[in-house]
Amino acid sequence: MVVGNISRLGVLMTSMLASRILASWSQFIKQKAYPTQGWLILQICFLVVIPYVFLAILPMDNKGLYVGILSFLNLIMMVSMMLQFPLAARLKRAKLFSRIDWNMQQHKRMGKWIGAFFFLHPALILLPKWFLSGADLSLSIIESITAPRLLTGIIAWVLLAAWVLFSIYKNKFPLSYAKWKLLHTAGFMAILILATWHITQVGSHGQFGPHINQAWWLACGLSLAFTVYGYTLKPRHLSKHAFTLVSREKANFNDWLITIRAQSDFTFQAGQFVWLSTQKDAYRLDYHPFSIASTPRSLPELSFVVRELGDYTRSLDQLQPGQAVFVDGPYGNMTLATNDTSNAIILIASGIGIAPIIGLLRTLAESNEPRPVRLIYSNRTFSQMLFCDELAHFEQNMEDFKTRFVCYLPSTSPIYYQGFIDKTCLQNALQDVPVETSSVYLCGSAVAVKNIRYALKDFPIAARNIYFEQLSF
């Protein structure tokens, strides 16, 4: 009776939430805005919990509180594992999965939790049996390992543990990012198939009839379809809409300026990024994310600044003007807010983080921005600073724009602050702007973004007014 009422209440609340989510999606589609983080989290929770709610209204055997909780956790973790595929699949048109930078953060975070939970899964099932029956634990383990119907589950478990470690310690393996990603994806696809096989063989949900197991296979197929789409249909589409390389030139000793031309309609907002491939065909997996440094006004041309880092970025001299460039995008939400009511704009670029920031600054200059704009731009040395002439031009011609260069190492240039972008540096650079009513746009490496966001906590700036992009996933 109580369980029935709780289930009905669950279904009612789920329906209300579903209608609210549909309303927010339709509003989002109308405004073409990015959903807020809160809504994304709620929608993901909804997707994860909804299968349980539907199963809970079926007449399930009551096997006690512990088994009930474990069954709930197993189910939501399994659905969460399925969600990882669309989360990481660069789905521009599926609104829920369109915030790829946010998705990648959640993918990394959720992946660790899912891995840890399923690592404990055998123990969570076996230990209570052992406690309750007093049976020999080692005997239970041997029986479980040797039971033929558990074989798929055991293989999935071993593979999962290995692949989670392979993902966490990806930088420790002597593999290119593209090869690592291929192995990562193929491994987790195999794990998902084996895990689905396992739950449809031994999971308790099959007791309601074959249609529940069919639903599991359908969900598994659907989530894998997102990945298969990314490796097959998407490259075909990118191939048909290939861009052309216009030029590539050295900007300084380790940075490149790359310009490409779109052959079809392509739109973006300043501050966004794309995945670029300069391989022979669009099916090769070597796509790299780069921020667009130009503004929509310069379309059909797009420009990028690229810092040499690894194998790909050190081989840019081999690119030939006129060659095809495959472009997947645009992505990213560090764009100038259209409903921005702030009184000043603070741009912070660390290293090659200047790429999207210069795009934003150029857009502000194009629209004769009347509000104070401050750029704080750091590099190891002054010789790595890009766009110095253009920045000087903006200082002279924009209403109220100032640049503060920051270098870690001493330099002969008189116009810089030595050190890091920390609290003192920010205080120094932002003396004459109303920080509490400013919008902040920040880009750099993951470490730089983390440290600068930490330093910004000492200023009265609302977190929702800080937009940031980190240059790694």
Quick count: other Cβ atoms within 10 Å of Cβ 92? 14
Taking CB under 6 A as the criterion, the residue among 97, 166, 243, 273 binding ligand FAD is 273
177 belongs to the binding site for ligand FAD (CB under 6 A): yes
Site size for ligand FAD, by CB under 6 A? 25
Asked whether position 326 contacts ligand FAD by CB under 6 A, the answer is no
Cα(87)–Cα(40) distance, rounded to whole angstroms? 11
* 197 touching ligand FAD, by CB under 6 A: no
* Residue of 281, 311, 432, 458 that binds ligand FAD (CB under 6 A): 311
Q: Indicate the burial class of 238 (C-beta count within 10 angstroms; 0-12, 13-18, 19 or more).
A: buried
Would you count residue 15 as binding ligand FAD (CB under 6 A)? no
Structure tokens at 170: 């990806």
What three-state secondary structure class fits 242?
Answer: coil
The Cα 431–Cα 417 span in angstroms is: 14
Residue type for position 355: A
Site string for ligand FAD, 281-310 (x = CB under 6 A): ------xxxxx------------xxxx-xx
DSSP code of 101? Answer: H
Closest approach of Cβ 23 to ligand FAD, in Å? 31
Q: Which residues pair with 406 in a beta bridge?
A: 378, 417
**Site for ligand FAD contains 171 (CB under 6 A):** yes
Q: According to the binding rule CB under 6 A, does residue 90 interact with ligand FAD?
A: no
Under 8 Å between Cβ of 284 and 352: no
176 lies in the site for ligand FAD, by CB under 6 A: yes
Question: What three-state secondary structure class fits 248?
Answer: strand
Give the nearest distance from C-beta 282 to ligand FAD in angstroms: 14
d(CA 69, CA 74): 9
Burial of 426 (0-12, 13-18, 19+ CB in 10 A): buried
List the x/- string, 236-265, binding to ligand FAD by CB under 6 A.
------------------------------
Closer of 166 and 273 to ligand FAD (Cβ): 273
Interface with ligand FAD, residue 312, by CB under 6 A: yes
Nearer to ligand FAD, 313 or 323 (CB): 313
Strand pairing class (288-291; 373-379):
unpaired
Q: Find the radius of gyration of the CA atoms of the chain.
A: 26
CB nearer to ligand FAD: pick between 307 and 374: 307
Interacting stretch for ligand FAD, rule CB under 6 A, among 16-24, 32-40, 192-200, 464-472?
A: 464-472
Pick one of 48, 56, 238, 471: the residue that binds ligand FAD (CB under 6 A): 471
Q: Is 301 helix (H, G, I), strand (E, B) or coil?
A: strand
Tell me whether residue 312 or residue 382 sits nearer to ligand FAD (CB atom): 312
Report d(CA 298, CA 285) in Å as an integer. 28
Tokens of 154: 């055991």
Minimum CB distance to ligand FAD smaller for 102 or for 405: 102
Q: Which residue has the tokens 């920040």?
A: 442
* Exposure string for 3-29, b = 16+ CB within 10 A, e = fewer: eeeebeebeeebeebeeebeebeeebe
Measured CA to CA, the distance from residue 468 to residue 473 in angstroms comes to 13
Closest distance of CB 348 from ligand FAD, Å:
15
Nearer of residues 342 and 445 to ligand FAD, judged by Cβ: 445
Give the residue at shortest CB distance from ligand FAD.
310
Residue 313 engages ligand FAD in binding (rule: CB under 6 A): yes
In order, the DSSP letters of 378-400 are EESSGGG---HHHHHHHHHHSSS
Give me the least distance between CB of 107 and ligand FAD, in Å please. Answer: 12
Structure-block tokens of residue 60: 């399930």
In the block, residue with structure tokens 């239970």: 140
Q: Whole-number minimum distance, CB 448 to ligand FAD, in Å?
A: 13
Binds ligand FAD by CB under 6 A, chosen from 82, 192, 352, 435: 352
Nearer to ligand FAD, 60 or 182 (CB): 182
Identify the burial level of 86 via C-beta atoms within 10 angstroms of its C-beta, where 0-12 means exposed, 13-18 middle and 19 or more buried.
Answer: buried
Q: What tokens does 93 get?
A: 């048109």
What's the maximum distance between 2 C-alpha atoms anywhere in the chain?
A: 82
Check binding of 359 to ligand FAD (CB under 6 A). no
446 lines the binding site for ligand FAD (CB under 6 A): no
Nearer to ligand FAD, 144 or 176 (CB): 176
Least distance to ligand FAD from the beta carbon of 119, Å?
Answer: 25
Interacting stretch for ligand FAD, rule CB under 6 A, among 15-23, 140-148, 415-423, 465-473? 465-473
Where on the chain is the footprint of ligand FAD (CB under 6 A)?
101, 171, 176-177, 273, 287-291, 304-307, 309-313, 352, 355, 469, 471-473
